[in-house]
Amino acid sequence: MNTYAFVQARTGSVRFPNKILKKVNGKTIFEILLKRLSRSKKISKIIVVAPESDKKSELKKIVKKSKQKIFYGSENDLLDRYYKAAKYYKANTVVRITGDCPLVDPKIVDDVIKKFKKKKVDFACNNETLPYANGLDVEVSTFSALEDAWKKAKKIYDREHVMPYVSRSPKNKKYILKSKIDYSNLRLTLDYQEDFDVILKIFNYFKPDIYFSFSKIYKFYKKNPEIFKINSNFLRDEGSNLNYSQKLWLRVRSNIKSIVGRLPYRLLQDLKD
């Protein structure tokens, strides 16, 4: 049975535009993600699922350079995009990875896939009870469960986030991979400039290695907890509960903070006065 990873990606993020194109030591965030994910021993193919609006973007060049496949689909209906990509590539097992998680750990990905197959379930994940760090999310589904969701899911939330209907459907057998330690306070995803600041510090610490494991990241965190406070004020899966206007405001606020942070100290004092 083929096990394909479908990585959702787009350059048009509202909160942090072109975030996956940000560079770390000469490589884009998305290029690093694909390189790390390619170390998985359980995934037989990686397919990037992008919106039609990205057909002429830098994303296409990155995927081609990484020697992976790309599939274009609906802009906002990600469930439709995933289903049509999985159907086109005739995937039996669908692994969902998000493109704003450059620290994805192939070992954790493989652990979820192994449990999915061993338990013979319809859906498995590691981001519910006792979740792993935000940014290490893995969701695995049978094609038939994904197809059922595609046919029956009506809510906008279910269509935008791909797997919620699959996860809660009573007809699906489900397994949740729980971490032995509660890592849920660690934020390793990329939605804001502060997230990028943390990610950059992590990669700079391990440079030139880009394949370090999450266990090494955790050891780094234990020695340098102050670094991980930079983005600790953001809620997990915050974007799932925000509308376009709210996301746009967060983007404006972040830009204002960035501009203010670059102002000379004396000018800041004058503004304060």
pLDDT, position 131: 82
Q: Which CATH class is domain 1-257?
A: alpha beta
What's the half-sphere exposure (Cβ side, CA atoms, 13 Å) at 207? 11
What's the one-letter identity of residue 267?
A: L
pLDDT, position 174: 98
| Per-residue pLDDT at 262 exceeds 80 | no
What pLDDT digit, counting tens, does each position of 102-134 carry? 999 999 999 999 999 999 999 999 999 888 999
Residue 255 or 180, more confident: 180
What pLDDT digit, counting tens, does each position of 68-84 carry? 999 999 999 999 999 99
The band of 13, judged by pLDDT with boundaries at 50, 70 and 90, is confident
- With helix as H, strand as E and coil as C, how does 186-245 read? CECCCCCHHHHHHHHHHHHHHCCCCCCCHHHHHHHHHHCCCHHHCCCCCCCCHHHHCCHH
| Three-class DSSP category at 37 | helix
Query: Residue 93's beta-bridge partner residues?
Result: 3, 142
Q: What is the mean pLDDT of residues 154-164?
A: 97
What's the half-sphere exposure (Cβ side, CA atoms, 13 Å) at 142? 15
Give the percent of the chain with pLDDT over 70: 86
The band of 15, judged by pLDDT with boundaries at 50, 70 and 90, is confident
Q: Return mean pLDDT, the chain.
A: 89
What pLDDT digit, counting tens, does each position of 85-105 carry? 999 999 999 999 999 999 999
Q: Which of 86-100, 175-189, 203-217 has the lowest mean pLDDT?
A: 175-189
| Predicted structure pTM score | 0.86
pLDDT, position 231: 95
